[in-house]
């Protein structure tokens, strides 16, 4: 998508000129000319997405799987920790922890898991923010929203069973690992990911 932007810009300028010439020939108003420009630009961009197989919707597909799975696993862990009808399951959770969180049914009183979760989520948000060269107003709002959400998750994680906080921390750690891995020039070359203008030889 990023590599397509210069081509889209060039085609957009050419289309603007063609619509302007055609509009003068046919006596179009500014409103009609804008309508034809936007409609044809959408068609051109769609053709480019099809040609390069990179429609923006594909980037959101994972989210539609990831969010429901995150919710369902969180609810399942909560039920196993505090709402399990089977006393054996609850007993296993109450003794199945490690280090300072030996009881997975109780919240982490040390706040180590919640604070670590908040810091990891903030780090992921900042990595995403640093990748954007030109940031729109919506992207700024979205980034600030996720920054606030990362901080709000700290007290939330401190009130839920440690099993849920541990799952959230593990999930965020995997997300951070993926982000860092995908910034590696060596890994990107191995996966044949094309270079973009925002790429860096020293991403870390």
Q: Residue 16 above 80 pLDDT?
A: yes
pLDDT digits (tens, 9 = 90+) for 146-196: 899 999 999 999 998 888 899 999 999 998 998 888 888 888 888 887 777
- What confidence score (pLDDT) does residue 121 get? 92
Query: How would residue 135 be classed by pLDDT, with cut points 50, 70 and 90?
Result: low
pLDDT digits (tens, 9 = 90+) for 47-67: 988 888 887 787 778 888 888
Query: How would residue 132 be classed by pLDDT, with cut points 50, 70 and 90?
Result: low
- What confidence score (pLDDT) does residue 120 get? 93
Distance of alpha carbon 162 from alpha carbon 178, whole angstroms:
24
Distances (CA, A) of 79 to 76, 107, 156: 5, 14, 17
- Quickly tell me which residue has 């046919």 as its tokens: 26
> What rounded mean pLDDT belongs to the chain?
85
Q: Residue 142 above 70 pLDDT?
A: yes
Q: Which of 94, 97, 91, 92 is nearest to 105 (CA)?
A: 94
Per-position DSSP letters for 81-135, written without gaps between them: HHS-SSHHHHHHHHH--BTTB--TTS--TT-HHHHHHHHHHHHHHHHHHHH-SS-
- What confidence score (pLDDT) does residue 116 get? 93
Q: How far apart are the first and last CA of the chain?
A: 23
Q: Residue 104 above 90 pLDDT?
A: no
> What's the whole-number mean pLDDT along residues 2-24?
88
Q: Residue 88 above 80 pLDDT?
A: no
- CA 50 to centroid of chain Cα atoms: 23
> What's the whole-number mean pLDDT along residues 64-87?
83
- Quickly tell me which residue has 């860092």 as its tokens: 180
**Domain ranges (residues) in the chain:** 3-52, 61-191
Q: Residue 97 above 80 pLDDT?
A: no
- What confidence score (pLDDT) does residue 148 get? 93
More confident site: 26 or 94: 26
Query: How would residue 103 be classed by pLDDT, with cut points 50, 70 and 90?
Result: confident
More confident site: 136 or 46: 46
Query: How would residue 133 be classed by pLDDT, with cut points 50, 70 and 90?
Result: low
Q: Residue 145 above 80 pLDDT?
A: yes
């Amino acid at each position: 998508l990023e590599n397509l932007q210069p081509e889209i810009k060039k085609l957009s300028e050419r289309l603007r000129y063609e619509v302007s010439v055609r509009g003068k020939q046919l006596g179009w108003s500014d409103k009609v000319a804008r309508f034809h420009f936007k409609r044809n630009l959408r068609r051109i961009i769609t053709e480019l997405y099809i040609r390069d197989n990179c429609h923006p919707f594909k980037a959101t597909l994972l989210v539609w799987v990831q969010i429901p799975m995150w919710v369902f696993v969180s609810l399942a862990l909560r039920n196993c920790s505090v709402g399990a009808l089977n006393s054996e399951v609850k007993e296993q959770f109450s003794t199945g922890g490690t280090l300072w969180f030996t009881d997975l049914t109780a919240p982490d009183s040390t706040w180590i898991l919640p604070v670590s979760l908040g810091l990891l989520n903030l780090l992921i948000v900042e990595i995403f923010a640093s990748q954007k060269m030109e940031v729109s107003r919506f992207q700024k709002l979205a980034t600030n929203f996720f920054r606030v959400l990362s901080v709000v998750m700290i007290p939330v994680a401190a009130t839920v069973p440690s099993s849920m906080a541990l799952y959230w921390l593990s999930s965020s750690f995997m997300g951070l690992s993926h982000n860092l891995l995908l910034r590696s020039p060596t890994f990107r070359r191995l996966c044949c990911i094309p270079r973009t203008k925002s790429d860096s030889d020293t991403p870390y």
